């Protein structure tokens, strides 16, 4: 089973991905949590490049670098884990490319990008995608709470960029309403987690392995 978490920077999606993994593990399920970009030696190196605030990367190279990191992650970790019967939780997946590079950077039209993404992930489609939806103003306020400068290159993007990304995520959730669960990211963390956990239990989780077996 493949579960993905999406949302703009500052939405709280990483927190929700972590909470779900902890809950699944407490119930005895075998899980794999990965983040994008990252999760393999190559993907982590590409992450360093992609998020470097001192680098200027044009939209098409950005798309290709994110996609290279994702392809390596799928080949090296996601696909093997799925074949082992693990529940794989991805903190971002190809919907991020649709929203960030497709709508935010306006690098390619949606049809081309969908076909490209499927080649990158070997036709994988998440069983469920949780969109933690917050408006760009709220997300920006969360990112600046510490008073520190932007943590990475993506966070230096304009307000208009994040508005386009937010609108794209909402459009994706509406277009694929059977796959997406759109959640109000302004709600309390535990309330969002409870809603996610309730939904996950209706997806037909695999039976946890017997912990008493060798």
Residue 72 buriedness (CB in 10 A; 0-12 / 13-18 / 19+): buried
pLDDT, tens digit only, all 214 positions of the chain: 999 999 999 899 999 999 999 999 999 999 999 999 999 999 999 999 999 999 999 999 999 999 999 999 999 999 999 999 999 999 999 999 999 999 999 999 999 999 999 999 999 999 999 999 999 998 888 877 755 455 678 877 888 999 999 999 999 999 999 999 999 999 999 999 999 999 999 998 888 876 544 4
What local confidence, expressed as pLDDT, does residue 214 receive?
Answer: 40
Q: What HEC string does 11-47 produce?
A: CCHHHHHHHHHHHHHHCCCCEEEEECCCCCHHHHHHH
Token digits of residue 166? 């937010």
| Closest to 20 measured CA to CA, from 9, 8, 7, 4 | 4
Distances (CA, A) of 22 to 3, 16, 26, 196: 14, 10, 6, 13
Question: pTM of whole model > 0.85?
Answer: yes
- Whether a cis peptide bond, with omega within 30° of 0, leads into 59 is no
Q: Domains of the chain by range and CATH?
A: 2-201 (3.40.50.300)
Q: What is the pLDDT of residue 209?
A: 78
């Amino acid at each position: 089973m493949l579960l993905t978490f999406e949302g703009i920077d500052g939405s709280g999606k990483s927190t929700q991905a972590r909470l779900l993994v902890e809950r699944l593990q407490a119930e005895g399920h075998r899980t794999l949590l990965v983040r994008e970009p990252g999760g393999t030696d190559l993907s982590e190196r590409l992450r360093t490049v992609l998020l470097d605030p001192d680098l200027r990367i044009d939209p098409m190279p950005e798309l290709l670098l994110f996609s290279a990191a994702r392809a390596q992650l799928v080949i090296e970790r996601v696909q093997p884990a799925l074949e082992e019967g693990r529940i794989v939780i991805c903190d971002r997946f190809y919907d991020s490319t649709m929203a960030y590079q497709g709508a935010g950077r306006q690098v390619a039209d949606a049809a081309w990008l969908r076909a490209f993404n499927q080649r990158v992930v070997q036709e994988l489609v998440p069983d469920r995608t949780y969109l933690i939806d917050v408006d760009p103003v709220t997300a920006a306020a969360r990112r600046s709470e510490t008073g520190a400068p932007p943590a990475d290159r993506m966070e230096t993007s304009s307000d208009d960029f994040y508005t386009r990304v937010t609108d794209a995520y909402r459009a994706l959730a509406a277009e694929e309403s059977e796959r997406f669960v759109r959640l109000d990211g302004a709600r309390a963390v535990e309330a969002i987690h409870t809603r996610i956990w309730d939904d996950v239990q209706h997806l037909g989780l695999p039976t946890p392995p017997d912990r008493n077996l060798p």
